[in-house]
Amino acid sequence: MSAMTEPQGIWVYAVAEMVLDASLGELTGVSGGPVAALSAAGLAAVTEQVPLAEFGEAALHRNLEDLDWLEEKARAHHEVIDAVAQQQPLVPMRLATVYHSEEGVTELLTGRSRDFRALIDRIRGRREWGVKAYAAPPPADREKAGQAAAPSAKTTGAGAAYLNRRRHERSAQEESRQAAMISTADIHDTLAGLAMAYRLHPPQAPQLHGNKQPMLLNAAYLLDDERADDFAAVVQSLAADHPSVRLDLTGPWPPYSFAELPELTPAGEPS
């Protein structure tokens, strides 16, 4: 309605080989509008017209600091990408990629068509899976073990016994932390061996993941679709083999963690 009067930008979700407008069905985008395909150079961008009042530079600076706004847009962005990714290989764009004009999007497709094609070929028939590893919670019988392994407690004072026990607990904790780190490295090696590629995200902060134990691994693996079931089974059996860690599998995800175009040369041309 007001699309003609209000300044608009173009939010870009993803780039694929070809997307028919009709195939975008009833998807609604980040601003609640229809999602449309924009084609050039034999590629198609999945896009939406968005009002710059909400998605312009100043507005984005402000809104990205607002968690409710961020969550809503992140989920809407993902919903569109995920729905299209069910149908065909695509290259997701970073959240909040907004062009001033359709021409800008067209230039992107034209200028980087070779790179986009290479990326699409790389992710064809593959999806991203996430594996997070946490240190396992301390075993319930640690207290008991600590007492049993402090034989000097009887012959020394209560204070010394307490210190002994504390020392023992602490070294047991350190040992189990170390075991967890070694296990995590093993687990990642095994999983990376099954994947086409992997990417290590920084472990999430405890306030964010809400788990009492620290996160030791926050990895993304790019997997052939045929291997997805095997991969899940391997994660299960690794979890069983490594009691010092707790594993969490998520996915399949669109290939967010593997969507990276090669750097442009200083001249601004694709190398």
Partner 1 sequence: MTSQPGKPARRAAAPVEGRVVRDPEVPGPRLALVDLLDRVLAGGVVVTGEIVLSIADVDLVAVSLRALVTSVSALDGPVPVAQQIAREVGS
Considering only residues 30-89, where is the footprint of partner 1 by CB under 8 A? Answer: 52, 55-57, 60-61, 64-67, 70-71, 74-75, 77-79, 82-84, 86-87
Question: Which CB atom, from 77 or from 150, has the smaller least distance to partner 1?
Answer: 77
Axis crossing angle, helix 102-111 with helix 113-123, rounded to the nearest 10:
70
Smallest distance from partner 1 to CB 4, Å: 19
Among 5, 155, 207, 271, binds partner 1 (CB under 8 A): 207
Question: Which CB atom, from 175 or from 260, has the smaller least distance to partner 1?
Answer: 260
Q: Please give the size of the binding site for partner 1, defined by CB under 8 A.
A: 81
User: 112-151: which residues touch partner 1 (CB under 8 A)?
Assistant: 119, 128-130, 132
Q: Is 190 in the site for partner 1 (CB under 8 A)?
A: no
Smallest distance from partner 1 to CB 182, Å: 18
Q: How many other C-beta atoms lie within 10 A of the C-beta of residue 29?
A: 22
Q: Is 217 in the site for partner 1 (CB under 8 A)?
A: no
Among 99, 146, 150, 188, binds partner 1 (CB under 8 A): 99
Smallest distance from partner 1 to CB 236, Å: 6
Smallest distance from partner 1 to CB 241, Å: 11
Q: How many angstroms separate the CA atoms of 222 and 224, rounded?
A: 7
* Sign, CA torsion 21/45/8/69: positive
Q: Are 105 and 42 in contact (CB under 8 A)?
A: no
Q: Is 104 in the site for partner 1 (CB under 8 A)?
A: yes
262's CB contacts (< 8 A; 6+ apart) are 115, 270, 271
Burial class (CB in 10 A: 0-12, 13-18, 19+), 170: exposed
Q: Are 176 and 138 in contact (CB under 8 A)?
A: yes
User: 219-238: which residues touch partner 1 (CB under 8 A)?
Assistant: 220, 228, 232, 235-236
Q: How many angstroms separate the CA atoms of 157 and 172, rounded?
A: 22
Smallest distance from partner 1 to CB 78, Å: 6
Name the pairing type of β-strands 43-51 and 245-253.
Answer: unpaired
Smallest distance from partner 1 to CB 86, Å: 5
91's CB contacts (< 8 A; 6+ apart) are 14, 15, 16, 116, 119, 120, 123, 255, 259
